[in-house]
Amino acid sequence: MTSIKLKFRAHTDNTKEGALYFQIIHERVAKQVKTDYRIYECEWDKQKGDIVKEVPFSTARNEALKVIRDKVLWEQRKLEQIAKSFEDADKPYTADDIIKRYKTVASDKTTVFEYIRRQSERMKELGRVRTGETYLQTLRSFMRFRNHVDLYFDMLDADIVGQYESYMRANCLSRNTTSFYMRILRGIYNRAVEEGLTQQIDLFKRVYTGVDKTAKRAITLKEIRRIKELDLTNSPDLDYARDIFLFSFYLRGMSFIDLAYLRKRDLANGYITYIRKKTGQQLTIRWERSMQEIIDKYPENPTQYLLPIITRHDGTERQQYLNKILFVNRKLKQIAQLAKITTPLTMYVSRHSWASIAKSRNVPLSVISEGMGHDNEETTRIYLASIQTNQIDEANSRILKDLH
């Protein structure tokens, strides 16, 4: 059998930190493994042979000791796992063999923060820019929770994940928002498991990873008509935001990112044909007079894009899109006040409203699903095989005619 214990060597000057190390005893041969962690003599419990739980009157130091305890515990577990693997192999080994393998494992170890950053870059290289951004968003949140103290995947457990959820709720994040971060973290963790960085354990069984029903985000056709009829002649910024909102609605609730990247060549022979950024699905929409009226209001975009959202080809296209959606959503709040609409108005409302209004006009659910480019439900996919594009266009035409 092999004994692995945490030990402390005090500094000769008791005002300075001493060193923590592991003592490995195998077949009466004792060896030592240094650690990078140092504590003061008063922070070592001689009787228990462990770091004290806390020291008086120092919250910051107690947080630092907790981090040291977590990391030391992880390293001790690693040493014990290595020793057990040698035992299971049923071959002779020495304490030096344990140390050699431990140093190899430690040098190859990838931290959680580093891994998430790497996956974010990987997503961006694959063209999945939004996914890469959400990875970084999750990383920043998790780093704040950890006080920027990194850790290894093997140190993650259900308690840490549960504490992270509690931390987010204490910071007034909704259940849907905490679930959003948890689902991303779970996906990253599962990929780390696939790559052999850690073993699969159910870290997320006690946290919420579902999606709650959100408050109503659709408005009525009557309310959209009120928006359309507002006199914004002296407010060009509000007029622009309204046009983008209405153009999205006219195009069956097209998402803002798809609006921004619509190309001039996507409009041909009386139809708009584009690929949804989110799903990769190709959609075709019949061009209507109301759409052309908005295009005619603005000078031709000097870029390849149809709408005046991305207006420069200088490497800042993504940032232009992000700036414009913030701008438009901000102006839509003012438009909602002018139109006496109580629902918080955003670009997403145009998409939700088109579906809601189509449903109220008895448009079949299957037609609505295809019209919006939904492809994540098996039932929808079954329906798609028998739906004709002109049914969707006729449904859209009826909705747009009701606006006049």
37-91 pLDDT, tens per residue? 999 999 999 999 999 988 887 878 888 888 888 888 878 888 998 899 899 888 8
Question: In this predicted model, what pLDDT tens digit does every residue of 215-242 receive, in sequence order?
Answer: 557 888 999 999 999 999 999 999 999 9
**CATH (residue range 112-194):** 1.10.150
Provide the pLDDT for residue 194.
92
* pLDDT value at 370 more than 80: no
- The two tokens of residue 95 are 């304490």
Provide the pLDDT for residue 280.
81
Model confidence at 172, pLDDT cuts 50, 70, 90, reads confident
The stretch 260-272 carries a mean pLDDT of: 95
Question: How many other β-carbons are positioned within 10 Å of the β-carbon of residue 153?
Answer: 20
Model confidence at 106, pLDDT cuts 50, 70, 90, reads low
* pLDDT value at 381 more than 50: no
The stretch 327-336 carries a mean pLDDT of: 96
Provide the pLDDT for residue 391.
60
Burial tier of 137 (Cβ tally within 10 Å: 0-12, 13-18, 19+): middle
* Residue 258 CB contacts under 8 Å (≥ 6 apart), including other chains: 274, 276, 277
Q: Which CATH architecture has domain 221-401?
A: Orthogonal Bundle (1.10)
- Mean pLDDT computed over every residue of the chain: 87
Provide the pLDDT for residue 213.
64
Q: Where are the domains of the chain?
A: 2-107, 112-194, 221-401
The DSSP code sequence of 356-400 is HHHHHTT--HHHHHHHHT--S-HHHHHHHTT--HHHHHHHHHHHH
Residue linked to tokens 């970084």: 136
For the entire predicted model, the pTM comes to: 0.57
